[in-house]
Amino acid sequence: MPLYNYECEKCSKTSEALVRRNQPEPSDCDSCDGSLKRLISTFAAPQSELDKLRAVDPAYKRMVEDHMARTPEAEPMRHLNKLTPFSAAEDPGDPIDF
C-alpha cells in the first residue's frame, strides 16, 4: 500500500494519500476542487546501528546513564573485581593466540 504525495495545480496545496491496489487515485483537491498531480515521493533508507545510536535523544541517554549510576548491579567494575587474575589462578591454561 504505497503512500503518494499530490500537489494541487490550482492552489499548490500538497497532500498525501494511501492508495490501495484496486482503489483509484484521488483526482480533486480537497480545498479548491482543482486537479491533483502526483509528486515524486521520497524513499526510506535503512539506517545502520551506528546511525541509530547517533540519533538517540541526548535526554534519553542522560536518563539511562543516571539510572545506571543509581543501579549498583549495572557497574561493570563490580563484576570485573570478582574475576580471578591469571597470576592467582593455579593453571590458567595455554595462552590464546590471536
3-8 and 14-18 strand pairing: antiparallel
The whole-number pLDDT of residue 8 equals: 92
1: pLDDT strictly greater than 60: no
Give the residue-averaged pLDDT of 61-77.
82
DSSP state of 72: G
Give the residue-averaged pLDDT of 22-26.
85
Per-residue model confidence as pLDDT tens digits over 45-67: 778 887 887 787 878 878 888 88
- Residues 6 or more apart whose CB falls under 8 angstroms from that of 69 comprise none
Give the residue-averaged pLDDT of 18-40.
86
The whole-number pLDDT of residue 54 equals: 74
| Average pLDDT value over all residues in the chain | 82
36: pLDDT strictly greater than 80: yes
